Amino acid sequence: MRVPYGWLAELVEGLPPLQETADLLAGLGLGVETIDHVPGAPAGVRVASVLAAEPVSGALQRVEIDDGDRRHTVACGAPNVRVGMRAAYAPPGTRLPGFAAVLEVREVGGVRSEGMLCSPRELGIFEHAAGLLALADDAPVGAELAELWPADDVIELELTPNRADAFSLLGVARDLAAKLGTALRHPAAGLETAAGDPSVADGLEVRVADPERCPRFSLRRVDGVRVGPSPVWLQRRLALLGLRPRNVVVDVTNLVTFELGQPSHAYDLEALEGGVLEVRRAAPGERLVTLNEDELTLDPEDLVIATPAAEGGSRAIGLAGVIGGREDSVRAATTSVAVEVASFEPIGVRRTGKRHKLVTDARIRFERGVDPALPLTANARVTALLAELAGGRPHPGVRWVAAPAAAVPAIAFRPSQVGFLVDVEVPPDEQRRHLERIGCEVVVEAPDRWRVAPPTWRADLELEVDLVEEVARLHGYEHIGSTHPHLAFVPPPTDPTHRRLRERLVGAGMVEAIGYVFTSDEDLARARVPEPRVRLSEPQGIERAVLRTSLLPGLLAAARLNRDAARLALFEVGHVFLDHEEERVGLLWRGHGAASGWRPPQGHDVYAAKGQLEALAEGLGARLTMRPVGFDDLHPGVSAEVAWEGTPVGRFGRLHPEVAAAWGCGDVIVAELRLPLEACPPRLRELPRQPFAERDLAVVLPADVAYAELQARCAAAAGPRLVELFAFDVYQGPQVEAGHKSVALRFRFRHPDRALTDTEVDADMAAVMTALRDAGYAWRT
């Protein structure tokens, strides 16, 4: 919210200088976003009255004005130029903020224009360019506008949702006065506030059909209103708030919204059929055109202000607590208005606002909760201003339809809690002063048993701890010291963020990426990974509509982005969202392995990548195995299921060429493994005391038999003395039968206690050869 410093200074006695005030506000929890210096009207611009206006061509008019000294002729194209109006006149020689050059006498459409009449934007005082700044009679002809419209500083506050009371100058001033210990000048002080009466002889009628949603409703008739521009001080105040002045009636209601924090609305009496206002739920499908010309289709949950319709029943003319309708708007010809100041229940206003995506000054206040004691005060303030500024004659009585207010329970408060929780010592009498200054009523029942009744405007104060915060806040958080508690707690040595895994991968030369959890149906399909299970209801576009079911699409996109990189080794640790959420590591390799640049690089093929995974497992003391299993996204001949200590955890292989082509990511090797990949505690084995006996055997077998199968068959046949078995050569080519391969195996046998004899080893090898023969394989020794 924007808080003009000059206005604040009128409300708080002894307000310190600007920066000091801003620091005080920040220290009170009214966060200061920025401080804007807002310039006043440009020097040299004067108030002038329009004496005559004569069309020239199109919108252009030749306008005669009086600037208090003499008459001038200016060319003007503004639609709101009227004879008798007061406007801002910039004579030749004026420097206007948006203009590069100083204003000169010049010819415009055949009119010799001695300067110009200015719009608010041309003056740089608020954002409106569709017409001239229209001034009221309070602006004397010939006056320097800059004297009436000086510069000011505006403190922009970023208010938290709990501080409903601070959405007004009054609320901000109240906090500052409490902190400073100085007097607050209430804007409605001295006004006679009517008691309110459900039956006032004002020719109006109010029917509240939903008192839960509208617990209080005041309406006051004001006749004899002259609708015209507001006085300069009011226009300037609104401009500083960031609002556009419109006419005195609308401006007064807007002013009071920001001044007291209570929204209000003035109805043109002619728009109220029979002077009747009804507060009811909208009919299904009922329509309303708002002030902003939005046509809304209403929901039965919406609360509307309605008036009887000529054709029977009633029609909505406003969305309660959110926005007025177009039809009841005050017009230039309006003379009688009915000023509504009501309370609307926060949740209903919030839901309606969200439903129709309307964020208005009224909604912001009602949904946070407006002081229930405020409607009659605000009504008195609005109607008094209409009497003062628009010549209105408020009806002596105020129509008032209100349900009895529920009593706000007092809070049991122990002043000792401030020391206990915040660890600052604030003497009880000082605590009491703080609480009373923000409007609480304090009853001391015992030294550490108080009853504190919060003011009507602080509905956020509900619990003892809320009062502790109030005391700490007014005392100042800067008094809080730094201490260190002693806790009997020893954290267990866990690694939930998989640091060890990441460190090993980085140590092996891999680069960590972090991708998006958001993806699209299309990307998941293109990567041939599972369809999305989780869909966002309001995504940021179809590219971010669903949650990823695999880490690979993100890595493929990165591979495409880095398509010029000769070598790529990426990984990501992240969550994927299937029927349940799980953590995974995704890996991607492309291009060569180790390289020097000046001699041929080592191949970075599938076996090099597999070797990295094996080394990873070895480093964590675990066993990683692969089993040929086809996966949709992988090359059918280079695709395996990965097991960690025998449990399947994911897949590994070469990306399917069709998928690679669809992504433009090149020929890549990928893996995706479920986390955690648990480290296995080392189990120490006794060191062998005997040497091993070694035998080699080259087996010729069909090329499509997996090595793992051959190895398992040999190991099973060789018996318990076999301690090691591995391939040291794999050959496929002219030396072996077509469709076959030769795998050279090395067997190592050992007896734990004694040296093996050749006869024993030969017997074990014979068993191996028998098993190979049974399987139909040949061998060469």
Partner 1 sequence: MNDDTLHAIATAPDLRELQALRVRLLGKKGELTEGLKSLGALPPEERRARGAALHERKRAVEAALEARKAALERAALDARLAAERLDLTLPGERVPAGAHHLLTQVTNRLLDVFASLGYEVVVGPELEDDRHNFGALNFPPDHPARDTQDTFWTTDGRLLRTHTSPMQVRYMESHEPPFRVVVPGRVFRNEAVDATHEAQFHQLEALVVGERITMADLKGAITEMATALLGSGTRTRLLPTYFPFVEPGAEFAIWWQHPKTGREEWLELGGCGMVHPRVFEAVGYEGVTGFAFGFGIERLAMVSYQVSDIRDLFRGDLRLLEQFRGVA
> What residues from 542 to 561 belong to the interface with partner 1 (CB under 8 A)?
544, 547, 554-555, 557-558, 561
- Residue 301 sits in the site that holds partner 1 (CB under 8 A): no
Select 502 or 748, whichever has its Cβ closest to partner 1: 502
Among 480, 542, 706, 708, indicate the residue that binds partner 1 (CB under 8 A).
480
- Residue 489 sits in the site that holds partner 1 (CB under 8 A): yes
Among 57, 199, 537, 647, indicate the residue that binds partner 1 (CB under 8 A).
537
Select 269 or 505, whichever has its Cβ closest to partner 1: 505
Q: How far, CA to CA in Å, does 150 sit from each of 41, 123, 146, 756?
A: 6, 12, 5, 107
User: Under rule CB under 8 A, which residues in 668-687 are in contact with partner 1?
Assistant: none
Q: How far, CA to CA in Å, does 56 sit from each of 76, 77, 132?
A: 10, 10, 18
Among 19, 497, 732, 770, indicate the residue that binds partner 1 (CB under 8 A).
497
Region of 524 please: left (phi>0), alpha (psi -120 to 50) or beta: alpha
Select 268 or 523, whichever has its Cβ closest to partner 1: 523
Residue type at position 781: T
User: Under rule CB under 8 A, which residues in 419-448 are in contact with partner 1?
Assistant: 420-424
Return the CA Rg of the chain. 41
Bridge partner list, 1: none
Min separation Cβ 598 and partner 1, Å = 6
Select 447 or 509, whichever has its Cβ closest to partner 1: 509
CB 458 within 8 A of CB 439: yes
Task: Select the span of 276-284, 323-331, 417-425, 639-647 touching partner 1 (CB under 8 A).
Answer: 417-425
**DSSP H or E run through 377:** helix 375-390
Count of chain residues binding partner 1 (CB under 8 A): 95
Min separation Cβ 562 and partner 1, Å = 4
- Residue 539 sits in the site that holds partner 1 (CB under 8 A): yes
Among 201, 209, 347, 542, indicate the residue that binds partner 1 (CB under 8 A).
347
Among 46, 213, 236, 368, indicate the residue that binds partner 1 (CB under 8 A).
368
**For residues 633 and 655, what is the distance between their CA atoms, to the nearest angstrom?**
6
Among 509, 621, 636, 719, indicate the residue that binds partner 1 (CB under 8 A).
509
**For residues 283 and 6, what is the distance between their CA atoms, to the nearest angstrom?**
46
Q: How far, CA to CA in Å, does 171 sit from each of 8, 162, 223, 256, 667?
A: 10, 13, 31, 13, 66
Among 204, 472, 529, 585, indicate the residue that binds partner 1 (CB under 8 A).
472
- Residue 357 sits in the site that holds partner 1 (CB under 8 A): no
**For residues 513 and 317, what is the distance between their CA atoms, to the nearest angstrom?**
56
Task: Select the span of 48-56, 274-282, 396-404, 465-473 touching partner 1 (CB under 8 A).
Answer: 465-473
Select 537 or 735, whichever has its Cβ closest to partner 1: 537
**DSSP H or E run through 257:** helix 248-260
Among 387, 565, 643, 698, indicate the residue that binds partner 1 (CB under 8 A).
565
Among 36, 156, 469, 645, indicate the residue that binds partner 1 (CB under 8 A).
469
Among 189, 310, 332, 488, indicate the residue that binds partner 1 (CB under 8 A).
488
Question: Residue 585 carries which DSSP code?
Answer: E
Among 414, 451, 500, 567, indicate the residue that binds partner 1 (CB under 8 A).
567
Task: Select the span of 81-89, 375-383, 396-404, 497-505 touching partner 1 (CB under 8 A).
Answer: 497-505
Give backbone dihedrals phi and psi of 33, rounded to 5 degrees, phi first: -80, -55
Select 272 or 570, whichever has its Cβ closest to partner 1: 570
Residue holding tokens 């060569």? 592
Select 497 or 770, whichever has its Cβ closest to partner 1: 497
Cis ω before 676 (30° cut-off from 0): yes
**For residues 114 and 608, what is the distance between their CA atoms, to the nearest angstrom?**
85
Select 502 or 674, whichever has its Cβ closest to partner 1: 502
Q: How far, CA to CA in Å, does 234 sit from each of 106, 149, 186, 251, 397?
A: 34, 10, 17, 7, 27
Long-range contacts: 525-531, Cβ < 8 Å, 24+? 526/553, 526/659, 526/662, 526/663, 527/552, 527/553, 527/556, 527/633, 527/659, 527/663, 528/632, 528/633, 528/656, 528/659, 529/553, 529/632, 529/633, 530/578
CB 184 within 8 A of CB 173: yes
- Listed in sequence order, the residues at least 6 apart from 105 whose beta carbon sits closer than 8 Å to its beta carbon are 92, 112, 113, 114, 115
- Residue 468 sits in the site that holds partner 1 (CB under 8 A): yes
- Residue 512 sits in the site that holds partner 1 (CB under 8 A): yes
Task: Select the span of 113-121, 305-313, 490-498, 719-727 touching partner 1 (CB under 8 A).
Answer: 490-498
- Residue 107 sits in the site that holds partner 1 (CB under 8 A): no
Among 68, 372, 593, 619, indicate the residue that binds partner 1 (CB under 8 A).
593
**For residues 398 and 196, what is the distance between their CA atoms, to the nearest angstrom?**
5
Sheet hosting strand 778-780, strand order edge to edge: 722-731, 740-749, 693-702, 778-780
- Residue 485 sits in the site that holds partner 1 (CB under 8 A): yes
Among 106, 112, 449, 499, indicate the residue that binds partner 1 (CB under 8 A).
499
- Residue 361 sits in the site that holds partner 1 (CB under 8 A): no
Binding pattern for the stretch 136-175 against partner 1, x by CB under 8 A and - elsewhere? ------------------------xxxx------------
Task: Select the span of 113-121, 229-237, 565-573, 729-737 touching partner 1 (CB under 8 A).
Answer: 565-573
Select 242 or 593, whichever has its Cβ closest to partner 1: 593
Q: How far, CA to CA in Å, does 82 sit from each of 132, 134, 236?
A: 10, 10, 22
Bridge partner list, 310: none
**For residues 738 and 702, what is the distance between their CA atoms, to the nearest angstrom?**
9
Binding pattern for the stretch 19-38 against partner 1, x by CB under 8 A and - elsewhere? -------xxxx-x-------
Among 289, 511, 606, 638, indicate the residue that binds partner 1 (CB under 8 A).
511
Select 102 or 465, whichever has its Cβ closest to partner 1: 465
Select 87 or 472, whichever has its Cβ closest to partner 1: 472
Min separation Cβ 53 and partner 1, Å = 46
Binding pattern for the stretch 570-589 against partner 1, x by CB under 8 A and - elsewhere? x---xx-x---x--------
Min separation Cβ 558 and partner 1, Å = 3
Residue type at position 112: R
- Residue 484 sits in the site that holds partner 1 (CB under 8 A): yes
Binding pattern for the stretch 599-638 against partner 1, x by CB under 8 A and - elsewhere? x-xx------------------------------------
Task: Select the span of 7-15, 402-410, 449-457, 492-500 touching partner 1 (CB under 8 A).
Answer: 492-500
Min separation Cβ 465 and partner 1, Å = 5
- Listed in sequence order, the residues at least 6 apart from 144 whose beta carbon sits closer than 8 Å to its beta carbon are 43, 44, 45, 46
Among 83, 297, 331, 516, indicate the residue that binds partner 1 (CB under 8 A).
516
Select 2 or 544, whichever has its Cβ closest to partner 1: 544
Question: Residue 213 carries which DSSP code?
Answer: T
User: Structure tokens of 297?
Assistant: 């289709």
CB 534 within 8 A of CB 549: no
Give backbone dihedrals phi and psi of 66, rounded to 5 degrees, phi first: -125, 120
Task: Select the span of 58-66, 178-186, 377-385, 538-546 touching partner 1 (CB under 8 A).
Answer: 538-546
Closest among 620, 613, 612, 644 to 495, alpha carbons compared:
620
- Residue 487 sits in the site that holds partner 1 (CB under 8 A): yes
